[in-house]
Amino acid sequence: MDESIIKIDSVRFYWSKKSNFKIFVPNLEIKKGEKVLLLGESGSGKTTLLSLMCGFLNPLSGNISINGNTINQLSSKTRDEYRADNIGIIFQQFNLLPYANVVDNVLLPLYFSKVRSNNVSNKKEKVIELFKQLRLPDDIAQFRASSLSMGQQQRVAVARALIGNPSLIIADEPTSSLDADAQKIFLNLMFEQISENNSTLLMVSHDKSLSNQFDRLIDINEILIREDKSCY
């Protein structure tokens, strides 16, 4: 049985023919249950790599497998469904729907994924449970996302990514705006939940000080080669 959750094999990508940003990832494998920190400075291609892994972008060549499925070979519709079923995403800016209340924000992924929806028998109870685990007050449920503090938004974003137990959580620099203490608290809370769900975490950051809290550290410069277009 293949124990890897992410497998990248000879992936090449560039945004447009005129673009100077061209990347090649010869090989990358992340095992199930791992907590991996992907390190790299701004503009190094971290977010592009995450977009490829999530299936937002399609590589020019090579393959990306998530949970054993080569997602770049799936149709656009199937890829969207696959992403909804398997990947929970935490954005750098959290990106909650500002006009929706907290519960609706958390439940949003379940609408697009039958698999994740079936994993949750009582949705409201599950939301309350997640709130408790993430130390969010009970009465926050009906608040509009726009009325929450930064820290609360962060935790709601984690709850949204975790609901329905997706096998992979991808987080794009969620701690970038936090001080060291708040980072630690936030990461501990996230790790607790991810361990409880048996999910895999791939978190992107440019902050090396976080590395000791993860199972594995990947430096983007070691796995990603920036190429000139003439190479293709």
Partner 1 sequence: MLLKLSFSSLYARLVTVGMTILAISVSLMLYMSVEKLRTSAYTSFTDTISQTDLIVGARASSVQLLLYSVFRIGNATNNITWESYLDLVSKEEVDWTVPISLGDSHKGFRVMGTNKEFFSRYKYRGSQSVSIDKGYLFEDLYDVVLGAGVAEKLGYKIGTSLVVSHGLQSFSDHDDQPFRVSGILKKTGTPVDNTVIVSLAAIEAIHVDWSTGAKIPGQLTPIDEIREMDLTPKNITAALVGVKSKLTIFQLQRWINEYPEEAMTAILPGAALQELWRVVGVIENLLLGISVVVIFTTLVGMAAIMFSSLSERRREMAIWRAMGASPFTVIGLLMLEAIFISILSITFSVVLLFCVLNLLQPWIDYNYGILVNIEMLAIKDMYVFAVFIIASITVSLLPAIRAYWFSINDGMTIKL
Smallest CA-to-CA distance from 162 within 106, 227, 81 is with 106
DSSP secondary-structure letter at 138? G
Residues between 183 and 222 with contacts to partner 1, criterion CB under 8 A: none
The window from 25-33, 61-69, 105-113, 216-224 that contacts partner 1 (CB under 8 A) reads: 105-113
Of 33, 69, 91, 165, which lies in the binding site for partner 1, with binding defined by CB under 8 A? 91
Of 11, 136, 172, 183, which lies in the binding site for partner 1, with binding defined by CB under 8 A? 172
Residues between 4 and 63 with contacts to partner 1, criterion CB under 8 A: 47-48, 50-51, 54, 56-57
Q: How far is the CB of 1 from partner 1 (least distance, A)?
A: 26
Q: How far is the CB of 200 from partner 1 (least distance, A)?
A: 17
Q: How far is the CB of 184 from partner 1 (least distance, A)?
A: 25
Q: How far is the CB of 12 from partner 1 (least distance, A)?
A: 17
Number of residues that bind partner 1 (CB under 8 A): 34
Taking the least distance from each CB to partner 1, the nearer of 23 and 107 is 107
Residues between 107 and 146 with contacts to partner 1, criterion CB under 8 A: 107-109, 111-113
With tokens 């705006």, the residue in question is: 177
Q: How far is the CB of 212 from partner 1 (least distance, A)?
A: 25
Backbone angles phi, psi at 225, to 5 degrees: -110, 125
The window from 31-39, 88-96, 130-138, 217-225 that contacts partner 1 (CB under 8 A) reads: 88-96
Residues between 66 and 85 with contacts to partner 1, criterion CB under 8 A: 76-77, 80-81, 83-85
Three-state SS string over 70-121 comes to EHHHCCHHHHHHHHHHHEEEECCCCCCCCCCEHHHHHHHHHHHCHHHHHCCC
Angle CA 109–111–114, to nearest 5: 95
Measure the CA–CA gap between 40 and 33, rounded to whole angstroms.
22
Smallest CA-to-CA distance from 154 within 88, 83, 86, 91 is with 91
Backbone angles phi, psi at 39, to 5 degrees: -100, 145
Measure the CA–CA gap between 68 and 76, rounded to whole angstroms.
18
Are the CB atoms for 191 and 213 separated by under 8 Å? yes
What three-state secondary structure class fits 125? helix
Taking the least distance from each CB to partner 1, the nearer of 19 and 188 is 19
Applying CB under 8 A, the residues found at the interface with partner 1 are 47-48, 50-51, 54, 56-57, 76-77, 80-81, 83-85, 89, 91-93, 95-100, 104, 107-109, 111-113, 160, 170, 172
